[in-house]
Amino acid sequence: MMTKRLHGVRSDLCSYLRDIEKSGDLSLLLGAERGLVENDLLRYANSKAMINSLKTALMEIDVIKKHIILVSNPAQYKVVNEVYSLPKNRKGGLPYDEARQAIASHYTRLGNLDKARLTDIEKSILDVRRDNIKVMQKLYEKMQAKAIGIDL
């Protein structure tokens, strides 16, 4: 009975995360992911390595939030664009700034979770979270392009 209810709750979470993905709202996507990471830290962190990884994830999410504020103001983001001017610091013509690095890092972190011990619904939740990270990446890159005045 309890297992069935837990499965139902996780299934609802999976559906909720898919709905957030469809919203196209970067702040909502980021807030949902932050909430999930905080929950993971409180409930599932069972080793020093996992605790450190989740704390790093929270710091990276904070970096992304700060960069969203920067990229929303083209005058401010112009400085970031100039600082990341070398080809090795750009991907797709856009600055590969700390936000994009943090997004990529978190995407990799979710992919590295040991899926062998997870249920099918837990695996689905992870897959949706990774999909949401990809949506975040695309939305952020669109904001970057707009801020520096280029078409993707």
d(CA 65, CA 75): 18
In terms of C-beta density within 10 A (0-12 exposed, 13-18 middle, 19 or more buried), how is residue 10 classed?
Answer: middle
CA angle 119, 125, 128 (to 5 degrees): 145
For residue 116, pLDDT beyond 80: no
Q: What distance in Å separates the CA atoms of residue 140 and residue 27, rounded to the nearest whole number?
A: 10
Question: What stretch of H or E contains 99?
Answer: helix 98-111
Confidence class for position 134, pLDDT limits 50, 70, 90? very high
pLDDT of residue 2 exceeding 90, the answer is: no
Candidates 145, 151, 152; CA nearest to 74 is 145
DSSP state of 117: G
Coil vs helix vs strand at 103: helix
Q: What is the pLDDT of residue 89?
A: 97
Q: What pLDDT does 6 receive?
A: 80
Helices 2-23, 26-43: axis angle to 10 degrees equals: 150
Counting every residue written for the chain, the total comes to 152
**Tell me, what's the pLDDT at 64?**
98
The answer to whether residues 121 and 16 touch, using CB atoms and an 8 Å cutoff, is no
| Per-residue DSSP letter, 90 | E
Instruction: Let me know: does 13 contact 40? Beta carbons within 8 Å.
Output: no
User: Are the C-beta atoms of 10 and 125 separated by less than 8 Å?
Assistant: yes
pLDDT number for residue 60? 98
Give 17-50 pLDDT, tens digit per residue: 999 999 999 999 999 999 999 999 999 888 999 9
